[in-house]
């Protein structure tokens, strides 16, 4: 649940901004701290040393190489500010990918089901917000935050596309039990 909250925290912040609600702390940072606290607490309770499998190390190594390539390509980009922002956001994707490998006890079947259900729910919930935004009726959202909110469709599209891939490549056993 915490991992799903971490992954969807950007959309949650966007929906809250649509409604004119802001929190004193960042939801993404808060959920990341909770995940690390839970991981640390679980490893202390179980008194089990943290051991990384070879597949984990290989996966993280390849992801780090890819991330370094992204950073290297920032040298010749015309948009320095935007590219640094995107590289930072990819760092969050890096964490979202590596946390299940690090935690090791993530129920993949439940995670994928939750991911698909939340993605579809976010997509459906976005439709009235986008309609009101297009009409100019989103008076609760501060003007300086409208740009970040109006781009939520990109995240929703990414999540829905990933959900489609999950559904297309999963067996029927995903939805049973």
Q: Which pLDDT band holds residue 177 (cuts at 50, 70, 90)? A: low
CB count, 10 Å around CB of 14?
23
- What's the pTM value of the predicted model, to 2 decimals? 0.73
* Cα–Cα distance measured from residue 5 to residue 9, given in angstroms and rounded to the nearest whole number: 6
- Give the model confidence (pLDDT) of 29-73 as tens digits: 898 888 888 777 766 666 666 666 677 778 778 878 888 887 788
Q: Are 142 and 22 in contact (CB under 8 A)?
A: no
Query: Which residue has 């490998």 as its token pair?
Result: 101
Contacts of 22 (CB under 8 A, 6+ apart): 16
Could you tell me what percent of the chain has a pLDDT over 70?
75
Q: Which pLDDT band holds residue 136 (cuts at 50, 70, 90)? A: low
Whether pLDDT at 162 is above 90: no
């Amino acid at each position: 649940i915490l991992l799903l909250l971490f992954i969807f925290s950007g959309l949650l912040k966007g929906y809250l901004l649509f409604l004119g609600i802001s929190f004193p702390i960042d939801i993404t940072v808060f959920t990341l701290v909770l995940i690390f606290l839970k991981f640390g607490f679980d490893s202390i309770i179980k008194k089990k040393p943290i051991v990384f499998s070879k597949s984990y190390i290989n996966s993280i190594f390849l992801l780090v190489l890819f991330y370094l390539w992204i950073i290297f390509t920032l040298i010749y980009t015309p948009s320095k500010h935007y590219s640094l922002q995107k590289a930072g956001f990819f760092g969050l994707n890096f964490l979202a990918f590596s946390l299940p490998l690090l935690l090791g006890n993530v129920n993949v079947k439940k995670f994928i089901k939750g991911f698909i259900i939340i993605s579809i729910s976010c997509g459906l919930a976005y439709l009235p917000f986008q309609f009101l935004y297009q009409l100019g009726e989103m008076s609760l959202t501060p003007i300086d935050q409208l740009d970040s909110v109006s781009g939520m469709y990109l995240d929703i599209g990414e999540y829905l596309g990933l959900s489609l891939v999950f559904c297309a490549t999963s067996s029927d056993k995903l939805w049973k039990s």
